[in-house]
Amino acid sequence: MGIGDRDKDEESVAELPTKSRFRYNSPLVQVVLIGLVCFCCPGMFNALSGMGGGGQVDPTATNNANTALYTTFAVFGVLGGGIYNILGPHLTLACGCSTYVLYAGSLLYYNHHQHQGFVIAAGALLGVGAGLLWAGEGAIMTAYPPPNRKGSYISLFWSIFNMGGVIGGLIPFILNYHRNEAASVNDATYIGFMCFMTAGTLLSFAILPPDRVVRDDSTRCSNVKYSSVATEAIEVLKLFANWKMLLIVPAAWASNFFYSYQFNNVNGLLFNLRTRGLNNVFYWGAQMLGSVGIGYILDFSFQSRRMRGFVGIGVVALVGSAIWGGGLANQIPYSHDDLPKKLDFRDSAFAGPFVLYFSYGLLDAMFQSMVYWVIGALADDSQTLSRYSGFYKGVQSAGAAVAWQVDSHKVPLLSQLIVNWSLTTISYPLLVLLVMLAVKDDKSEDEIVKEVAFPSSNKDVTTTAIST
C-alpha cells in the first residue's frame, strides 16, 4: 500500500460518524473483539490447564510442556511488544493464536500414544505464540480505551476472556459427566477445544491497527507509526533499566506463579475428573466478577486517579490476604504423602474446597486487572504500552516456568502455598510506590485527550518514539 493510499484510508476512517460506541472502529468494539479472540484461545487453554494435568491422569507431561511454554513465553513476552510494533495486530495475533490449536492437538495425540516429545515441543511453540498474542492484547487493552475508562475496559475484556474458561469448563464436564471414575478426558474434549481455538485465529484478522481506531470524541488511539527492528531492540533493552518496570517485577512474577499450585494441587488433587470441569466453570466465572468489581473501584471510586489506584491496591491486598489465609487452613490436612479422597460435586464435603477454589479465581482477576490498570496509567500511546505489557507478560511467564518445575519436583504443598502468598504480598507496597511516583493527577482528563488528539503541541510523537 502506498503512502497516498494510506492517507486516503486514514481520511476515510476519520470521516466515519463517531457518535455510536458500537462502530467497528470504536475502542469498545475493538476491545470486545480482542476479548473474543482471547475467549477462544487462551480462555480455552486456561480451561484445559485448570483441569489439572491438561485432563491427563499423570501431570508430568503437561508440567514439562508448561515449563517449555513459559520459558519461551518469558523471552517472546518481552520481545512481543516490539514485534507487535513492527508487524501490526493482524500478523502478530494470528501467528500467536495458531499455536494454541497445535497445543490442544498435541494433547489429543498424547491421549493415544503417551509420548511427551510432541506435547513439550507444542508447548514451546505455544510460548512463542502466547508472547505475541498477549503483547498485542496488552497494547490494545491499555491504549485503545479513553484515559478515564481504562479500568472499565479492562474489566470488560477480562469478563469476555474468562467466559472462555467458563464455556471451556463446561466442555469436559458435559462430555465426561458419566465418566466419574475416568482418569483422562476423551478425544471429543480436545477436539472441542481445537474448534474454538481455530475460530479465535480467524477472528484475530478483524482487529484494527491503532491508527484506525477513533474514540467517541474523534481522537485517535495513537498517532505513532510502526517502528523498525533496530528501534524496538533498543527500546526493549531499555525496559530492564526502567525503574517503573522494575517495581512491577514482583507483581508480574507472582501473577501466574500460583496457577500450578491451584490447578494441580487444589483442583487436581481434591476433586474427580467431572467435578474439576465444573469447578473451572465457577473459577473462571469468579474472574468475571472480580474484574468487574475492581474495574469499578479503579475508575469510579474517587475523582483522583492516584487515590483510585491506592484504594484498588488496598482492596486487593485485603481480599488476597483473607483468601490465602483460607487456603492455608485448607492445605494443612493433606500433603503429597497423605492425599485426600477425591471429592465429587454431590458429596457433602464438596462445599468448602469449592468455595476456596472459586475465591482463588476471584483473586486472580482482581490482581491482574489491578496490575494492568497501573500499566495503563503509565502511558497513553500504543507503542510504549505494548512494550510495557510485553515486559509484564515476559516476567510473568518466567515465574510460571519456575512454578511448573517446582510442582514437577514435588515441593511440599504447604511450602508452595506460603511462597505464593508471600510473592503477592510483597508486590502490594511496590505497586503503591509506583502509583505514588508515576501516576499523576496534575492534568485533567480533557487535557490528556487533547494531547492525544494534537501531539504536536506536546512534541512530535512519531519523532520522539523513534529517536528515544
Lowest mean pLDDT among 149-158, 278-287, 388-397, 450-459: 450-459
Residues of the chain with CATH 1.20.1250.20: 20-212+219-226, 235-441
Residue 399 has pLDDT above 80, yes or no: yes
335: helix, strand or coil:
strand
Position 12 scores a pLDDT of: 45
Fold of 20-212+219-226: Growth Hormone; Chain: A; (1.20.1250)
Place of cell 486487572: 369
Lowest mean pLDDT among 135-149, 333-347, 441-455: 441-455
Position 231 scores a pLDDT of: 80
How is residue 144 written as a grid cell?
485503545
Residue 448 has pLDDT above 60, yes or no: no
- DSSP string of 16-32? S--S-TT-TTSHHHHHH
- How buried is residue 467: exposed, middle or buried, by Cβ count under 10 Å (0-12/13-18/19+)? exposed
Percent of the chain with pLDDT over 90: 40
Band (56; pLDDT cuts 50, 70, 90): low
Query: What mean pLDDT is predicted for residues 296-316?
Result: 91
Band (465; pLDDT cuts 50, 70, 90): very low
Lowest mean pLDDT among 126-140, 170-184, 249-263, 266-280: 170-184
pTM of the model: 0.76
Band (46; pLDDT cuts 50, 70, 90): confident
Query: What mean pLDDT is predicted for residues 47-75?
Result: 76
Position 251 scores a pLDDT of: 96
153: helix, strand or coil:
helix
Q: Name the maximum alpha-carbon separation found in the chain.
A: 71
**Contact (Cβ atoms closer than 8 angstroms) between residue 320 and residue 424:** yes
Residue 257 has pLDDT above 90, yes or no: yes
Q: What are phi and psi of 338, to 5 degrees?
A: -140, 75
Computed over every residue of the chain, the mean pLDDT equals 83
Query: What mean pLDDT is predicted for residues 225-240?
Result: 78
CATH number for the region 235-441 comes to 1.20.1250.20
Q: What span, in angstroms and rounded, lies between the C-alpha atoms of 97 and 197? A: 7
How is residue 149 written as a grid cell?
475508562
Position 88 scores a pLDDT of: 84
For residues 263, 268, 270, 273, the Cα torsion angle rounded to the nearest 10 degrees is: 130
Q: What span, in angstroms and rounded, lies between the C-alpha atoms of 249 and 251? A: 6
